[in-house]
């Protein structure tokens, strides 16, 4: 008789438990219900245009369907628009972004619609449909991957992200818009999911290329995230070197993708136009007047070190749009304030850096971006009361916000204590990812745009923290589950 294959004697992996199928089905149905209730709502619920949308929609000459007397690139902060049309604007600004993939698909549908029916105004819900389809496809792909690996609890954690996190209105208000926040969330989800699925595994198939592509997509989603995938790459390389004495292939893939994205963004930042110069001045004013000067022990000395005249001090605490004119006209020296001068000011006054960081964290709430209308036809109308968002809960309870953001840091210390991470290596990886996203996003936000728009620019911080909590609670539930304990004992 032929010798039996040693693999034949291995115990067959346990089948996928029936409860998991029911749980995943419930997650999908609950997620679709939450998505549909907001995305299909009449009138449209979406984040109104704060001018950021124009940076992307202008790439396709798409602007809100308004009277011709209204300049096409004018912002509309009071309410969103559900209909857009093609307008040949003068000197349109076009930011390169991963977001343009979805907008390009929607623009193609609009052109086809015009050719077929002659319609001039088009529904913005098309772009929402493409963005939602991409999220559902990625969620399904990760769910199937965890099921194939016979890891039901990881599949459950991934499944819960759909109804509890991605379908939260704080995220879904970006679906039917030309903002890039949803694209950044999608790219971060792809990066984190690929890292975790291949935890402790060699590179197989297209995993290396997919992870590099996801890192590049994250770096290109928004200029604010230009260095975020680079920080994740460095963290993964350092983690692998410290934990396993190897340079993890995941870190190398992330590094390649991050550098590719950084190169493209650096080229973009070198472009010169009146619009880009104006945006840079507004951002510089926000950094100086909402972050540096209000948090300095000696604002006059800090202003002098930045090269500002004493008259500029009167605008301390004001956002750029709150100033009584163009910031560079009111404070001409503002255009000469470089990033190196800002960093030197922070190094000379380290406690100012701590105060700015704490203020950035405190200004994250509410999670639903404030200051802009959410209902079409409204006048700065907020989210309707029938839509629940974690934003409302965390805005009302500071202690919950402290637990939300602080627990991952405490968990990191606990995992390192006496190498407790050896029992939960994947939890260590998730915790490191959460800390990098939190610290990296906040740092770039306050140094790039001050404290003027922290909830919107820092929206990934909430997503990372909530995802960590969902994963941690599932891990805790697994340790308490009698079935899991019996299987472990066997």
Angle at 215 between CA 213 and CA 219, to 5 degrees: 115
Give residue 83's pLDDT band: very low, low, confident or very high (50, 70, 90). Answer: very high
| Contact status, residue 320 vs residue 452, Cβ threshold 8 Å | yes
- Structure confidence at residue 482 (pLDDT): 52
**Contact yes or no for 236/250 (Cβ under 8 A):** yes
Distance CA 166, CA 30 (A): 11
**∠ Cα 453 94 73 (to 5°):** 70
What residues contact residue 188 under an 8 Å CB cut-off, 6+ apart?
A: 218, 228, 437, 460, 463, 464
How far is the C-alpha of 368 from the C-alpha of 455, rounded, in Å? Answer: 7
Quick one: pLDDT at residue 2? 40
Closest CA to 86 of 110, 109, 116: 110
- 479 band by pLDDT with thresholds 50, 70 and 90: low
| Residue 142 in this model has a pLDDT that exceeds 80 | yes
The stretch 367-390 carries a mean pLDDT of: 94
Are 287 and 445 in contact by the 8 Å Cβ rule? The answer is: no
For 233: left if phi > 0, alpha if psi spans -120 to 50, otherwise beta; the answer is alpha
Reference 260, options 302, 214, 313; nearest CA is: 214
The pLDDT value given to residue 276 = 74
The pLDDT mean for the chain works out to: 89
pLDDT at 402 over 50: yes
Q: pLDDT over 70 for what percent of the chain? A: 95
- CA dist., res. 349 & res. 408, Å (int): 28
Q: Is the pLDDT of residue 78 over 80?
A: yes
At 85, is the pLDDT very low, low, confident or very high (cuts 50, 70, 90)? Answer: very high
| Average pLDDT of the residues in 157-184 | 97
Contact 77, 49 (CB under 8 A): yes
What does each C-alpha distance from 226 to 236, 338, 357 come to in angstroms?
A: 17, 18, 19
Q: Say if CB 175 and CB 39 are below 8 A apart.
A: yes
Query: Using an 8 Å Cβ cutoff, are 364 and 465 in contact?
Result: no
Q: Per DSSP, what are the bridge partners of residue 62?
A: 86
Which residues does residue 64 pair with via DSSP β-bridges, in sequence order?
A: 84
For residue 483, name the pLDDT band (cuts at 50, 70, 90). Answer: very low
**Range 235-249 average pLDDT:** 90
User: What's residue 364's pLDDT?
Assistant: 87
| Distance in angstroms (rounded) separating the CA atoms of residues 437 and 440 | 5
pLDDT of 484 strictly over 50: no
Sequence length of the chain is 490
The predicted pLDDT at position 6 comes to 42
Strand partners, 86: 62
The predicted-structure confidence for 208-239, as pLDDT tens digits, reads as follows 999 999 999 999 999 889 999 999 999 999 99
Query: SS3 letters for the chain?
Result: CCCCCHHHHCCCCCCCCHHHHHHHHHHHHHHHHHHHHHHCCCCCECCCECCCCHHHHHHHCEEECCCCCCCCCCCECCCCCCEEEECCCCCCCCCCCCCHHHHHHHHHHHHHHHHHHCCCCEECHHHHHHHHHHHHHHHHHHHHHHHHCCCHHHHHHHHHHHHHHHCCHHHHCCCCCCCCHHHHHHHHHHHHHHHHHCCCCCCCCCHHHHHHHHHHHHHHHCHHHCCHHHHHHHHHHHHHHHHHCCCCHHHHHHHHHHHHHHHHHHHHHCCCCHHHHHHHHHHHHHHHHHHHHHHCCCHHHHHHHHCCCHHHHHHCCCCHHHCCCCHHHHCHHHHHCCHHHHHHHHHHCHHHHHHHHHHHHHCCCCCCCCCCCCECCCCCCCCCCCCCCHHHHHHHCHHHHHHHHHHHHHHHHHHHHHHHHHHCHHHHHHHHHHHHHHHHHHHHHHHHHCCCCHHHHCHHHHHHHHHHHHHHHHHHHHHHCHHHHHHHHC
Residue closest to 257 by CA, chosen among 304, 310, 290, 209: 209
Instruction: Report how far residue 61's alpha carbon sits from residue 84's, in angstroms, rounded to the nearest whole number.
Output: 10
Is the distance from CB of 170 to CB of 448 less than 8 angstroms?
Answer: no
Indicate whether 448 pLDDT > 90.
no
């Amino acid at each position: 008789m032929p010798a039996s294959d040693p693999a034949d004697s291995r115990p067959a992996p346990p089948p996928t438990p029936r409860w998991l199928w029911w749980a995943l089905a419930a997650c999908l149905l609950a997620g679709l219900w939450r998505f549909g209730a907001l995305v299909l709502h009449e009138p449209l619920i979406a984040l109104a245009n704060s001018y950021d949308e124009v940076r992307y929609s202008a790439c396709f000459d798409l602007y809100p369907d308004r009277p011709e007397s209204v300049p096409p690139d004018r912002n509309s902060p009071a309410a969103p628009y559900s209909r857009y049309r093609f307008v040949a604007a003068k000197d349109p600004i076009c930011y390169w972004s991963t977001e343009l993939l979805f907008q390009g698909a929607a623009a193609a549908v609009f052109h086809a619609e015009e050719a077929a029916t002659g319609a001039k105004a088009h529904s913005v819900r098309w772009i929402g449909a493409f963005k939602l389809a991409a999220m559902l496809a990625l969620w399904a792909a990760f769910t199937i991957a965890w099921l194939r690996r016979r890891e039901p609890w990881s599949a459950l954690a991934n499944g819960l992200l759909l109804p509890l996190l991605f379908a939260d209105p704080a995220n879904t208000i970006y679906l039917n818009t030309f903002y890039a926040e949803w694209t950044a969330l999608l790219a971060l989800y792809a990066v984190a999911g690929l890292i975790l699925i291949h935890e402790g595994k060699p590179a197989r198939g297209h995993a290396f290329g997919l992870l590099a592509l996801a890192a590049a997509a994250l770096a290109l989603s928004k200029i604010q995230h230009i260095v975020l995938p680079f920080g994740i790459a460095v963290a993964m390389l350092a983690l692998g070197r410290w934990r396993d004495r190897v340079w993890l292939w995941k870190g190398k893939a992330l590094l390649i993708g991050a550098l590719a994205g950084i190169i493209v963004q650096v080229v973009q930042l070198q472009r010169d136009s009146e619009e880009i110069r104006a945006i840079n001045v507004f951002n510089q004013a926000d950094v100086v007047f909402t972050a540096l000067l209000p948090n300095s022990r000696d604002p006059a000395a800090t202003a002098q070190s930045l090269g500002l005249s004493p008259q500029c001090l009167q605008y301390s605490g004001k956002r750029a749009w709150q100033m009584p004119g163009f910031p560079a006209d009111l404070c001409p020296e503002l255009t000469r304030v470089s990033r190196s001068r800002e960093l030197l000011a922070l190094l000379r006054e380290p406690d100012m850096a701590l105060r700015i960081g704490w203020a950035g964290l405190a200004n994250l709430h509410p999670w639903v971006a404030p200051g802009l209308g959410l209902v079409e036809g409204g006048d700065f109308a907020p989210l309707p009361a029938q839509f629940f968002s974690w934003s409302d809960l965390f805005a009302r309870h500071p202690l919950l916000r402290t637990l939300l953001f602080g627990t991952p840091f405490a968990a990191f210390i606990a995992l390192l204590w006496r190498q407790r991470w050896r029992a939960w290596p994947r939890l260590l990886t998730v915790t490191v990812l959460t800390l990098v996203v939190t610290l990296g996003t906040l740092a770039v936000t306050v140094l790039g745009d001050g404290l003027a728009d922290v909830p919107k620019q820092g929206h990934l911080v909430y997503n990372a923290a909530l995802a960590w909590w969902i994963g941690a609670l599932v891990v805790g539930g697994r340790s308490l589950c009698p079935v899991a304990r019996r299987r472990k004992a066997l």
